[in-house]
Amino acid sequence: MRIIESVSGMQSAADGFRASGRSIGLVPTMGYLHEGHLELMRTAAQQSDVVVASIFVNPTQFGPGEDLEQYPRDFDGDVQKAGKAGVDVIFSPSGEEMYPKGFQTKVRVERVTKHLCGIFRPVHFEGVTTVVCKLFNCVKPDLAVFGEKDFQQLVVIERMTVDLNMNIRIVGVPVQREPDGLAMSSRNSYLIGQERHSALCLFKSLQLAKRLYSRGERNARTIRDAVIDLIASHPFTSVDYVTLCDPVSLEDVEVLERKTLLALAVNVGRTRLIDNCILG
């Protein structure tokens, strides 16, 4: 497995892969890899000849007061895990390499970033789309793999790829969960003591919503109120949002007449967690 740290080195390697007729699959990550990341890498390995995993904690997607400096890192462990998951190249640039002196360009997707996490993290998605666009230009992939846990991110990247005529296939992989149902996340490591048990309220609330839907409930407010009540019954929790919306436009729905996304963002202690499911 190769480790490449420069943009020019990654572009040169990508040109070589393409010249030899090999397809490239990209898995963008911020490192501190868990089984959810590894499933993305295995998916990329199944669908491409060369798998590139980027490891870059992107500063532009963190807002003031967020956990940029505290974000967990374990590069040596990440290298070992990625190699076992079928990764051929790790692209691990520095901040200065990705955002050199004088950098002043941003990529912005409009409407789908105005909902869900975009309300609470106003600079986040502009940072995501800018860095992913740059990663696409560095790695030159045929396909890129993202997790559906970050459902809004997946929608935003799909929108950017279509709007900017990028010839890249975007692949979504279902949420990977711990045995007790908690969605896998690098930020789960922040949970301390009983917070870990309280964090299960996200998964439990999704299950509750599915039961209500299966019994015929179609009123979004009724489902939302039940979910909020369940979350509030757990200690250390506060809700950022519980939203039922169209899974393409991310606009709120009042009645579940077709497939609907239930998306959650919940603070458990000082840890912000997200989760989601499709109803219908």
**Catalytic site residues?**
37
Retrieve residue 75's tokens. 């590069």
Half-sphere exposure of 272 (CA within 13 A, CB side): 12
Tokens of 56: 């870059």
Positive or negative, the CA dihedral 28, 34, 39, 42 is positive
Q: Concatenated DSSP letters for the chain?
A: -EEE-SHHHHHHHHHHHHHTT--EEEEEE-SS--HHHHHHHHHHHHH-SEEEEEE---GGGPPTTSSTTTS---HHHHHHHHHHTT--EEE---HHHHS-TT--------GGGSSTHHHH-TTHHHHHHHHHHHHHHHH--SEEEEEGGGHHHHHHHHHHHHHTT---EEEEEPPPB-TTSPBP-GGGGG--TTHHHHTTHHHHHHHHHHHHHHTT--BHHHHHHHHHHHHHTSTTEEEEEEEEE-TTT--B-SB--S-EEEEEEEEETTEEEEEEEEE-
Q: Which of 45, 272, 36, 243 is nearest to 147 (CA)?
A: 36
Rg (alpha carbons) of the chain, rounded to whole number: 19
